[in-house]
Structure 1
Amino acid sequence: MELERKKRKEIENFGLLDDDVFFDVLSRLPAKCLLRLKSVCKGWCRLISDRIFIKVQSQTLEPIVGFLIQQRFQWCSDDIKIITHIPVALGSAALQQSVFSFLPDDVVVLSSCNGLVCCRSCFPFSDPAIYVCNPVNKDWIKLKWTKPDKEDSVVLVFDPCQDMVDCSTNFKLVRVRQFETASEDLYFSFDIYCSSTGAWRVSQEICYCSDKLLKNKGIYVGGILHWLTDGDEILTFNVENELSWLISVPVSAAQIESDYQSCIGESDGQLYYVMISENGLQFWFLEDYFEFKWNLKYSKTLEVLEEEHPNFLCNLHERVRRRPTIDSNPWMDPLAFRDGILLIRVCAKIFLYHVETSKMNEVCYVSGLGTYSSYLPTVLPYSLSLVRLT
């Protein structure tokens, strides 16, 4: 306590109070800028590292800085340990594969939310654990993982506007699992971990659904978690009131005569459904949760995409059309979408596609991610945060 009082006194002596112009201006800047400004002087470094400043700055909407991608083996039970960070600004930074080297174990990424990342131990397990961490300041918390299952979908929920207080950072984990009733009906159940209590509990809510989770990760938008299924529906769970329901996707499989691939994501605080098929690349956003109303925001035919990017998408339409309907390794696959940026795999290459400008950047070959496996990789949008966990 004495050390904390001295630190705050030093900040006050530096002339940086809550109502001071420095505090007011700096707290409006994104984390990426503040990380550079910490080196200006010791006073700014102390201010930017202070929990009260971080709490105020966390109200700033942080833009996406990149994607975390980790490949998976299709037939082998072992986990691939390499995690690659793909920066959105490819010209200013190269791919990074040591983002989580500060953790004591090799991990598999599970979820990312407002700058914090949830991971689990790699299989085969020796001391199975779940980690919640902030790669920016290398803070991390280790949680016991009882009854580990490498297929568990565990989603991190962190809202800096609500869950950050002066002395601690609160978060929740939601684990969704599918079970079968005696009458062979399938349903999803939800387990919730609260950092404030340090314990797991089983929610009373269940959701009957015969579909399986696709790409095995949840998207947190407006207090609601969303999971894409391999059917025509999206599983949702309201974290606050613990209610779940199913949302029909904007275009069902019956309406599409060809093979298609899809993913869900977020942009401008809205849930998006991204689909690519013989009909082209489409971006839908959910306008109304109660009426399940979707609006088509962007659409490009395959012919137009090929005309715009002939060096990347040669014979795109013909290759997609000839692709078998059932294929675990499709020719094109939208991997993740956030803030108007789509990470997409085309054959053996990874690209960034900017929706507003139609700009397309080649990232790397799939083999550049560690292995040649392209089977349902885990892909998480990532933004920076100054939030401290310890």
Structure 2
Amino acid sequence: MVKPRGKCSHMIKNKWYEIECAEDVLADILSRLPVKWLLLCKSVCKLWNRVISSQLFIDFQLMQSRKCPCFIIYPYRDLHLQLYVMKATELKTMFTSPFWENDYNLCIIASVDGLIFCVNHAVLGNTTDKDGNDLEIRIYNPATKNVLLLPRGSPSKKLPRIGVAFGPKINEYKVFRFFCAKHNPPAEGKSRPNYYCEVYSSSTGSWRVIGHPPGFPMPANQGPLLGSNHIFLNGKVHWFVASKEDRKVPGSILTVDVEENFGKIDLPQKITKCSYLVNLEGCLSLLVVYDESRMLDIWILKDCHKLKWEKKCSVLSPFSELEPISAVVALKSEILFMTDFHYLLYNVEDRIWRNLVNMPDPLEQRRHPALFTYTESLLSTYGRRSDPEAGDTSNGSST
């Protein structure tokens, strides 16, 4: 009996050796594991470490992970950045950030391919700049716990507005920063606007001014000054720009693409201050809630070239007038709303509302609540550029 068992064991070892030699098969197997297990698997042997660390595997793992996106919920500001992951209307897990020396008024502004972009008031010397002159921008991968603090941008008289664009390759990103220059350059003349836009590119690791934007993005809807209601879709970042008649109501949409070209999109009709931009089934969509009737209008821009809006539906919302909407996000055909009292999920295809239970208490004292979609990944916070000496091990307290 001992001899056959030895032969069987030898055959199994040979078969597994064949699988390991076929690195594409090994990569396919490993890519289905959660990131926390992949990080542990890197210590199994040199081969596994090499496979998991390769850019090809990181890209492949992301492609697999994109098949199962989920919602992340940032319900309130606590001692640490707490992110709840929601799958199938239930909370499955929670991420907690590492300790950051300065996390005053921390606000999440974007979540793309497993990287979360956060901003907070900058620290100047030993004091926090609470007057809104500057922001610190961090990129955080909650699965790998890696954090990158971006270098300081140009001085600004007003609180800057931030937007994030990804592509064309995986893990190439650009951060757009709109700021109000403290002094106009003499060559510009006094008649020129002093609003500028600069861009941080992951490929260069530095900021570069790209010129005067045709508008200045609005802050987030419900008052958090650090936030900005923007969305990246179809190679462009989109922000609301305030109406000339009412600075609290959007009047148009400002865009900038990854090639750094500005554009403008007109709104389908006069909207309210309770309006949101979301990615609904791969299309730029506009959600408008009307205070008196509590009707929710959903508009979709199906053709991003013709810029023609189509009304998807108009439905009675379950929100009361005393229930302001804190955050909104869409995933496929579902739209998740966070209010001061409820979490509500609306299915656009079925036209059904669901009140979600067993969620983080919405009545907690909170700052800058946020909802985003999330896809777990191994992506580096540095982007695709290689930095062999520094790697991706920054802790958020250094650039």
TM-score normalised according to structure 1 size? 0.68
Name the structure 1 match of 2:13: none
Name the structure 2 match of 1:336: 329
- Separation (CA, whole Å) in 2 of partners of 1:144 and 1:95: 32
- Pairs within 5 Å for 1:226-237: 226-229=238-241, 230-237=249-256
Instruction: Decide whether the 8 Å contact of 1:117 with 1:156 is kept in 2.
Output: no
- Separation (CA, whole Å) in 2 of partners of 1:51 and 1:14: 23
1:212 matched to 2:218: yes
1:239 matched to 2:254: no
Specify the structure having the higher radius of gyration (Cα): 2
- Separation (CA, whole Å) in 2 of partners of 1:239 and 1:223: 6
Give the letter for the 1:176 counterpart: F
1:349 matched to 2:342: yes
Structure 2 residues without counterparts, runs of 5 or longer: 1-15, 129-134, 222-227, 242-248, 382-391, 393-399
**Cα deviation, residue 117, structure 1:** 1.6
- CA separation of 1:110/1:208 partners in 2, compared to 1, >3 Å: closer, same or farther? closer
Instruction: Decide whether the 8 Å contact of 1:109 with 1:117 is kept in 2.
Output: yes
- CA separation of 1:45/1:68 partners in 2, compared to 1, >3 Å: closer, same or farther? farther
1:198 matched to 2:205: yes
1:288 matched to 2:281: no
Which secondary structure does the structure 2 equivalent of 1:145 belong to?
Answer: coil
1:35-63 C-alpha deviation (Å, 9 max, x unpaired): 37647894796444543211233344354
**Cα deviation, residue 121, structure 1:** 4.3
Which secondary structure does the structure 2 equivalent of 1:144 belong to?
Answer: coil
1:383 matched to 2:375: yes
Structure 1 residues without counterparts, runs of 5 or longer: 1-11, 73-79, 165-169, 254-258, 303-312, 324-329
**Cα deviation, residue 348, structure 1:** 2.8
Number of aligned residue pairs = 328
Name the structure 1 match of 2:59: 55
Identity value in percent? 20
- Pairs within 5 Å for 1:25-104: 27=31, 33-35=33-35, 38=38, 42=44, 46=49, 47-60=51-64, 61-69=66-74, 83-89=81-87, 92-93=90-91, 96=94, 99-101=96-98, 103=100
Query: Which of 172, 175, 190 does residue 174 from structure 2 map onto?
Result: 172
Name the structure 2 match of 1:117: 116
Which secondary structure does the structure 1 equivalent of 2:57 belong to?
Answer: helix
Instruction: Decide whether the 8 Å contact of 1:111 with 1:217 is kept in 2.
Output: no
1:170-197 C-alpha deviation (Å, 9 max, x unpaired): 4321112357998888685321111222
1:249 matched to 2:249: no
TM-score normalised according to structure 2 size? 0.67
Query: Which of 128, 131, 136 does residue 143 from structure 2 map onto?
Result: 136
1:276 matched to 2:295: no
Give the letter for the 1:112 counterpart: S
- Separation (CA, whole Å) in 2 of partners of 1:334 and 1:143: 26
- CA separation of 1:17/1:284 partners in 2, compared to 1, >3 Å: closer, same or farther? farther
- Separation (CA, whole Å) in 2 of partners of 1:151 and 1:14: 58
